[in-house]
Amino acid sequence: MKLNLDQLKDINSKSLDLHQVELDILSQKLDKKGINAEDIIKDITELQVATPSWALGTGATRFGRFPGGGEPATLEEKIGDVGILKQLCGQTSSISLHIPWDVPDNAEDVKDLAASYGLRFDSMNSNTFMDDPRGLNTPKGLSYKYGSMCNSEEAIREQSIQHNIDVIEYGKRLGSDSLTVWLADGSNYPGQANFRRQFENVQNSLREIYKAMPEDWYMFTEHKPYEPNFYSTVNNDWGSNLLLAKGTGERCLCLVDLGHHLPNTNIEQVVSRVIMEKRLAGFHFNDSKYSDDDLTVGSLKPYQLFLIFNELVEYMKGDDKQANELAWMIDASHNTKDPMEDLLQSFDAIALAYGQALSIPRATLTEAQMNNDVAGGQEIIQDAYRTDVRPLVREARMRQGAAFSPLQAYRELGVRKELINQRGTRVAVTGL
């Protein structure tokens, strides 16, 4: 399904009068701080965030699932949904696949289909946290119940290495250039496993996978302190992640998933440290109140998101660069919302936090910091956070032919209804 751009324009036209007034006032306000609104609009336009294939279907908890209908069942349909998101918000132009959930039957055809929507393939995600019922991630038929790369059995470690190599092969054919490795590996009870032995097994396995990567590929390792193992995980925090990355190779980088930190962790400081070591892969954006990644980006801790972007903007506008482009992705799944609506809200929240961080007068902030002006520094940061940059985000979208309000346009155009008409109310199990 492709949207009718004229209809989108008509919907936008209803909001244009007031929008122009708001945009002018904001531009003048920013100008007073020495900030050019046009520059921010350009930067927002360029920030493209990947859509994960597994966020397009309704998520679940272990207590149940409440799918809404019209969900994509095939990789082709998932690509179609990302195409719609791109038309609506202009902020996503790639899709990230999870193998074995998204094994392409014919990678070349799938690549062409994506290109017809203006999409490419972002990082490839391997999956050794479950045994695929079809055996697609267990080439030797062995279970990952007690871990994959950390496993005490060599054959299981070899199997998980092989699975990752298979994922690289799919990715090569699709035109991806990175592999994301998230491991569920760890233990559920004290005494179950030896921390050091597990870590060394994972480290050695990652080195084997790294050797199989093309020379222009990156490997991203993703840390997580709990779940599905609840006593210990091998890659538990950014420190372990950095150790693994450094022990693996130059092109192994640390991915930061916002839902994978213990309560009250200063994530923006983690980001700063990892950047300092030139090992930041990028992000899995989401939000959470208690744990993991199941709430919409920016829905609970928008100030934290803004502070993270503050660190990122400092890096992006600075001279001391890493060799890699940062990888931006959403990683969330929702039990009670239309997944497409949730993604549109997420893209919006990311653009807003980025726009706010771009509106910080950096030289003035540095001056306040150098003069130990504590309240002054805080004021500068808070002033940027309290600036309503929505007119800039809307302008960035409309200049690309996308929607003034993507969520409103999605509803007015009856997209979900149309998808249900086409696909029915079937339940598409896309992953977790």
Q: Residues 6 or more apart from 180 whose CB is under 8 A from it? A: 96, 123, 124, 125, 126, 220, 221, 222, 255, 281
Closest to ligand PSV by CB, 285 or 385: 285
User: Residue length, the chain?
Assistant: 432
Q: How far is CA 387 from the centre of its chain?
A: 25
Choose which of 223, 284, 334, 394 interacts with Mn ion (CB under 5 A): 284
Build a one-symbol-per-residue string for 295-334: x at contacts with ligand PSV by CB under 6 A, - elsewhere.
------------------------------------x---
Q: Which helix (H) or strand (E) holds 105?
A: none
Q: Does 122 bind Mn ion (CB under 5 A)?
A: no
Order of strands, edge to edge, in the sheet holding 94-96? 51-52, 94-96, 120-121
Rounded-to-integer distance, Cα 96 and Cα 177, Å: 11
Choose which of 27, 53, 92, 125 interacts with ligand PSV (CB under 6 A): 125
- Residues that bind ligand PSV (rule: CB under 6 A) add up to a total of 11
Q: How far is CA 289 from CA 7, 15, 120, 231, 348, in A?
A: 38, 34, 32, 21, 20
- Least distance from ligand PSV to the Cβ atom of residue 284, Å: 6
Contact 252, 206 (CB under 8 A): yes
How is the chain split among helix, strand and coil, in percent rounded to 5?
50, 10, 40
Q: Does 395 bind ligand PSV (CB under 6 A)?
A: no
Q: Does 177 bind Mn ion (CB under 5 A)?
A: no
Selection from 309, 318, 305 nearest residue 358 by Cα? 309
Closest to ligand PSV by CB, 349 or 360: 349
Choose which of 81, 177, 222, 348 interacts with ligand PSV (CB under 6 A): 222
Selection from 150, 342, 183, 151 nearest residue 255 by Cα? 183
Q: How far is CA 76 from CA 52, 110, 119, 159, 199, in A?
A: 14, 7, 12, 28, 38
- Least distance from ligand PSV to the Cβ atom of residue 255, Å: 8
- Least distance from Mn ion to the Cβ atom of residue 261, Å: 11
Q: Does 144 bind ligand PSV (CB under 6 A)?
A: no
Which listed range, 120-128, 230-238, 276-284, 422-430, lies at the site for Mn ion (CB under 5 A)? 276-284
Build a one-symbol-per-residue string for 266-295: x at contacts with ligand PSV by CB under 6 A, - elsewhere.
------------------x-------xx--
- Least distance from Mn ion to the Cβ atom of residue 258, Å: 9
Rounded-to-integer distance, Cα 422 and Cα 416, Å: 10
- Least distance from ligand PSV to the Cβ atom of residue 183, Å: 9
Site for ligand PSV in 41-60 (CB under 6 A): 54
Closest to ligand PSV by CB, 331 or 341: 331
Q: Does 432 bind ligand PSV (CB under 6 A)?
A: yes
Q: Does 182 bind ligand PSV (CB under 6 A)?
A: yes
Q: Does 257 bind Mn ion (CB under 5 A)?
A: yes
Selection from ligand PSV, Mn ion, none that 287 binds (CB < 5 to 8 A by kind) is none
Order of strands, edge to edge, in the sheet holding 124-125? 124-125, 178-182, 218-222, 252-257, 280-285, 327-330
Rounded-to-integer distance, Cα 77 and Cα 423, Å: 9
Closest to ligand PSV by CB, 129 or 379: 129
Rounded-to-integer distance, Cα 105 and Cα 21, Å: 51
Q: Looking at 40-111, which runs of residues are DSSP E strands?
A: 51-52, 94-96
Selection from ligand PSV, Mn ion, none that 54 binds (CB < 5 to 8 A by kind) is ligand PSV
> What is the binding site for ligand PSV (CB under 6 A)?
54, 125, 182, 222, 224, 257, 284, 292-293, 331, 432
| Footprint of Mn ion (CB under 5 A) | 257, 284, 292-293, 331
